[in-house]
Structure 1
Amino acid sequence: MKGGKRPIHAVATWVRRQPPKMKALLAVFSGLVALLFLRMVVQDHDKLFVAAEAVHALGISVLIYKLTKEKTCAGTH
């Protein structure tokens, strides 16, 4: 899409320009929609818990790796 904005860029720009109260409302609404989606999709909640713990462990592993290799957990070098 040369010359035009991509839809995701247009939405991100629109959200950035909103006042803080609107951003908070959008965040709450998005969170509720995400929870509702998970409630409808996930059949076995035990598997969801195990998946969440696995992602958490992976994140901690990445932070430990960054600490040992780069001596910082900052996002930039």
Structure 2
Amino acid sequence: MGLKRTDEFRQGAVRIALTSGLTRKQVASDLGVGLSTLNKWITAHRDTDVVSKEDLSLAQENERLRREVRILKEEKDILKKPPSSSRA
């Protein structure tokens, strides 16, 4: 069975995950917990006062922007690829 973390530790992990700008995977790795565990903690503490409404709003905007950047990078990489020389 895994190590039991205190509620204070879990709340701190949620705060870091939602406000640091790091990916959840990075935060989980840095804290030595599993990604699924961190996600469970975030779900459990999302509606509490662990993170202020303003910080949560900024974190949500950061997540949206990260997704947008990732999509744009993928599109750019697709456009960089040379066209296929074989024709059907």
TM range (shorter): 0.3 to 0.5
What TM-score comes out, normalization by structure 1 length? 0.41
RCO comparison, higher one (Cα < 8 Å, 6+): 2
Higher helix share: 1
What TM-score comes out, normalization by structure 2 length? 0.37
